[in-house]
């Protein structure tokens, strides 16, 4: 089925090399709809954009990219929403440089619902992932849609937690909507397309280019009422999302961690800068003045723990610990520690970190 004239004009305009951001806004402000931009003379266009861009507009683009979008839209789950479309998310109109087009796969309605962004390290600890998943599930149960970026680590855990709750999740991509990155998250992306939504401002076929990801972060924060950083190193990209959220007037939340963990330094820095320190999903809901109308946080496990296991957990504490240190603290033999750790790891109570140290996990 051929595309309508207005959508075709929007697509052609956004695919012009060098035409983006302020340049595109100046043209739309001057000429109105995209069709009028293409009808303008090169001289008129050059009053608002560089001559090279004006010339590119007059040359136009070939039909291959347009035909690709038409083919993609044959799937009823796929949509393209323009700035002029009444279905365009209103909250994105409040952010600087709102994308002229959104490629949407899944439930478009989710983009207009109250949401919270959850972001953090791609190389998250087991505890960090557990926190992201648990917070996301409770917030999802409370009626908030969870927004994240489909990255490994915290992002993926947040999406999983949201889908496990009674709500859903939005994945904002740094690629075209027809490309899933990282490939390891393809199954998760399929679930999100079925039960949530994938959204991208980038043209179909756009590969994972490093510069795209900081740019997509403004949409993660822009779609949300606030941004929760679960775990982040001092130079983490998730701090960009938090900064953008703050600049956009959104709430910023951070979960504190161990003073010895490099992945806590980013969250601690945010807290020093004024982010709200949160220790539970209910802390987030209270700050947002959002009713927690669904199930409460899960109660801790009450399964009986034998004396040796209790001694080992007491020796482990809350920070990562080496096996030799565990032996010295607990008085247990290496063989006993090995058996107990295997049982605890299968139960999800502890995790082995890169390098072999052990850390307790709270869910």
Q: What is the pLDDT of residues 216-248, one digit of tens each?
A: 999 999 999 999 999 999 999 999 999 999 999
Show which of 259, 288, 317 is a domain's final residue: 288
| Domain end residue (candidates: 258, 288, 318) | 288
Q: What is the pLDDT of residues 97-124, one digit of tens each?
A: 899 999 999 999 999 999 999 999 999 9
Q: 177 with 272, same domain?
A: yes
Distance CA 112, CA 197 (A): 12
pLDDT at 68: 95
The pLDDT score that the predictor gives to residue 300 is 45
pLDDT of residue 25: 92
Same structural domain, 226 and 183: yes
Q: Are residues 114 and 261 in the same domain?
A: yes
Supply the pLDDT for residue 304.
55
In a domain, 356, yes or no: yes
CATH assignment at residue 144: 3.40.50.450
Q: Which residues pair with 79 in a beta bridge?
A: 104
The CATH number of the domain holding residue 50 is: 1.10.150
The helix (H) or strand (E) run that includes residue 103 is: strand 101-106
Contacts of 309 (CB under 8 A, 6+ apart): 340, 343, 344
The CATH code of the domain that includes 337 is 1.10.10.10
Residues 182 and 324 reside in one and the same domain: no
Per-residue pLDDT band at 308 (split at 50, 70, 90): confident
Helix ranges (H only) for the chain are 5-14, 21-31, 34-39, 42-46, 51-59, 63-72, 126-141, 154-164, 186-195, 212-222, 238-247, 265-272, 281-288, 307-316, 323-330, 334-346
Do 252 and 279 lie in one domain? The reply is yes
pLDDT at 318: 80
Question: Is residue 145 a part of any domain in this protein?
Answer: yes
Query: Residues 12-24: pLDDT tens digits?
Result: 999 999 998 899 9
pLDDT bracket for residue 292 (50, 70, 90): low
pLDDT in tens, 128-175: 999 999 999 999 999 999 999 999 999 999 999 999 999 999 999 999
How much of the chain exceeds pLDDT 70, in percent?
95
Residue 181: inside a domain, yes or no?
A: yes
Instruction: Give the confidence band of 351 by pLDDT, cuts at 50, 70, 90.
Output: confident
In a domain, 97, yes or no: no
Is 151 domain-assigned? yes
Of the residues 288, 315, 342, which one is the last residue of a structural domain? 288
Confidence band (pLDDT; 50, 70, 90) for 305? Answer: low
Residue 183 lies in a domain: yes
Q: Which range (117-121, 204-208, 216-220, 286-290) has the least confidence?
A: 286-290
207 shares a domain with 172: yes
203 shares its domain with 266: yes
Same domain for 262 and 162, yes or no, is yes
300 domain residue, yes or no: no
Identify whether residues 166 and 282 lie together within a single domain: yes
Does some domain include residue 297? Answer: no
Range of the domain at 69: 1-74
Same domain for 333 and 197, yes or no, is no
Residue 118 has which token pair? 């959850």
The tokens for 260 are: 């010895």
Residues 114, 245, single domain; the answer is yes
pTM over 0.95? The answer is: no
97 Rama class: left (phi>0) / alpha (psi -120 to 50) / beta: left
The per-residue pLDDT for 271 is 98
Domain count, the chain: 3
- The C-alpha atoms of residue 195 and residue 343 are separated, in whole angstroms, by 34
> What pairs with residue 148 in β-bridges?
171
Residues 6+ away with beta carbon under 8 Å from 139? 116, 118, 146, 162, 165, 167, 281, 284, 285
- Rounded to the nearest 10 degrees, what angle do helices 63-72 and 5-14 cross at? 120
pLDDT of residue 8: 95
140 and 234 inside one domain: yes
């Amino acid at each position: 089925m051929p595309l309508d004239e207005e959508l075709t004009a929007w697509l052609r305009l956004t695919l012009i090399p060098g035409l983006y951001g302020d340049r595109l806004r100046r043209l739309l402000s001057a000429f109105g709809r995209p069709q009028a931009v293409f009808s303008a003379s090169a001289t008129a266009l050059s009053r608002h954009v560089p001559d090279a861009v004006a010339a590119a507009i007059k040359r136009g683009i070939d039909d291959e990219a347009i035909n690709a979008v038409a083919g993609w839209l044959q799937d009823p789950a796929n949509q393209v929403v323009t700035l002029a479309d009444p279905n365009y998310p209103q909250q994105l109109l409040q952010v600087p440089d709102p994308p002229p087009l959104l490629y949407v796969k899944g439930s478009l309605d989710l983009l207009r619902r109250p949401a919270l962004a959850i972001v953090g390290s791609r190389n998250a600890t087991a505890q960090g992932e557990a926190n992201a998943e648990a917070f996301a599930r409770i917030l999802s149960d409370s009626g908030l849609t969870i927004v994240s970026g489909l990255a490994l680590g915290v992002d993926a855990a947040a999406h999983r937690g949201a889908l496990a709750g009674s709500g859903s999740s939005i994945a904002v991509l740094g690629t075209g909507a027809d490309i899933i990155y990282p490939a390891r998250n393809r199954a998760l992306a399929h679930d999100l397309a079925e039960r949530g939504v994938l959204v991208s401002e980038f043209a179909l076929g756009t590969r994972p280019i490093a510069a795209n990801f900081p740019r997509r972060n403004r949409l993660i924060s822009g779609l949300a009422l606030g941004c929760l950083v679960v775990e982040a190193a001092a130079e983490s990209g998730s701090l960009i999302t938090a900064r953008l959220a703050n600049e956009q007037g959104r709430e910023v939340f951070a979960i504190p961690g161990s003073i010895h963990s490099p992945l806590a330094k980013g969250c601690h820095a945010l807290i020093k800068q004024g982010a709200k320190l949160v220790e539970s999903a209910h802390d987030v809901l209270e700050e947002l003045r959002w009713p927690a109308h669904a199930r409460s946080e899960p109660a801790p496990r009450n399964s009986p723990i034998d004396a040796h296991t209790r001694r080992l957990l007491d020796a482990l504490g809350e920070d990562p610990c080496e096996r030799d240190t565990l032996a010295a603290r607990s008085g247990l033999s290496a063989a006993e520690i090995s058996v107990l750790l295997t049982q605890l790891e299968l139960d999800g109570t502890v995790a082995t970190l890169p390098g072999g140290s052990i850390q307790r996990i709270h869910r």
